[in-house]
Homo-oligomer: A and B are copies of this chain.
Amino acid sequence: MKTLAQAEKRGRPDIVHFAMLEALGSPLNKEKLLQFYVHTLNDYVIRVNPETRLPRNYNRFVSLVEQLFEFGKVPPKSSETPLLALRQQTLTHLMTEIQPSYTLGLSRLGKPATLEASVSRLATEKKPAVFLGGFPSGHFSEATYKLVNEVVHIDRETLETWTVTSRLIYEFERALSLPEKRL
């Protein structure tokens, strides 16, 4: 029997689906203060237009991603900014393009820190970026580790990616006093 390399990091598009739903539906995103990217194991980067209204239904999400990999963008024929756009690109290359001022990684292997403390640091930065593992198990690759300034873990157990996405974004909103401002 053959097994795909890094099998533990494959086969769970539902993780990305839920995490994207949490990100795109957040007040932070509605304020146009969030840019979400998906980097895949085989070095594709999906750019997510903040205005994308993602299908809630999982099967429709999978169809959309299939269409994305077939045509390189979704919707395939639009001349405007696509909702999702695909490029063959390493994470290192993407970061060179984005040029974040500070990059935080969240991983079980990092040092212990609350999300609140970690995010309060991020919120003082001009262009902060955060890496979250969107895979079922396994850790960041060595190449990924080289791209982050700091790696923290926020709970003694592994939390689901969508849960961390939601809390991270919420803490960031709190640091900007968005909850009060948006009442």
Does B179 lie within 8 Å of A25, measured CB to CB? no
Cβ of A131 < 8 Å from any Cβ of B? no
Q: Shortest beta-carbon distance, A164 to chain B, in Å?
A: 10
Known: A14-B56, A18-B21, A166-B22. A27 touches B159 (CB 8 A): yes
Taking residues whose C-beta sits less than 8 angstroms from the other chain, chain A's interface range is 35 or more
Question: What are the 3 closest A-B residue pairs judged by CB atoms, nearest first?
Answer: A58-B58, A166-B166, A112-B183
Say whether B179 contacts A116, CB under 8 Å.
yes
A183–B116 Cα distance when bound, in Å, is 12
Cα distance A112–B27 in the bound complex, in angstroms? 15
Interface of A with B (CB < 8 Å)? 12, 14-15, 18, 21-22, 25-27, 30, 56-59, 112-116, 153-157, 159-160, 162-163, 166-167, 170, 174, 179-180, 182-183
Contact call A157/B58, Cβ cutoff below 8 A? no
CB neighbours of A22 from chain B (8 A):
162-163, 166
Which residue from chain B places its CB closest to the CB of A62 in the assembled complex? B58
Which chain B positions have C-beta within 8 A of A12?
A: 56
